[in-house]
Amino acid sequence: MREETKVDLGSVQIHKKVIADIAAAATSEIANVKLVEPDFKYSVLELFGMASHPAIDVTIDKSDHQVSLEIKIVVKYGSHIPDVARQIQDVVRDAVERSADITLKDINVSIQGLERGNQ
């Protein structure tokens, strides 16, 4: 599925993978946060060119063309999780709006784990 924008000379289509890559790049700049690592299923899908980013799900509502994200992360022990989640939402929203001119409906942050020590 692609987000499509009409311009004077035709249309511009932005693939969901591009939106996920923008969100991943923005999230990677935040301290004490890592995106969830790919699993076996992702590796197989990637071989066939069918994988998006393993830690970011992009959903486009077909009825109103609104874009939502779910970002799966691991947070370093001792971090204030609500602040980290809000920071991710703010940074990702700004990056996607600036890069793709897309206003996101939802940015859901799912804490999948806790990293302790120097792992």
Q: Which residue has the tokens 């071989």?
A: 47
The closest of 9, 10, 30, 36 to 89, measured between CA atoms, is 30
Can you give the pLDDT at residue 53?
72
What pLDDT does 88 receive?
A: 98
Average pLDDT of span 69-75: 96
Length of the chain measured in residues: 119
Alpha-carbon span 32 to 113, nearest angstrom: 12
pLDDT, mean over the chain: 87
Tell me the fold of 2-115. Alpha-Beta Plaits (3.30.70)
> What is the arithmetic mean of pLDDT over 14-43?
87
pLDDT on residue 104? 96
In this predicted model, which residue has the larger pLDDT, 4 or 96?
96
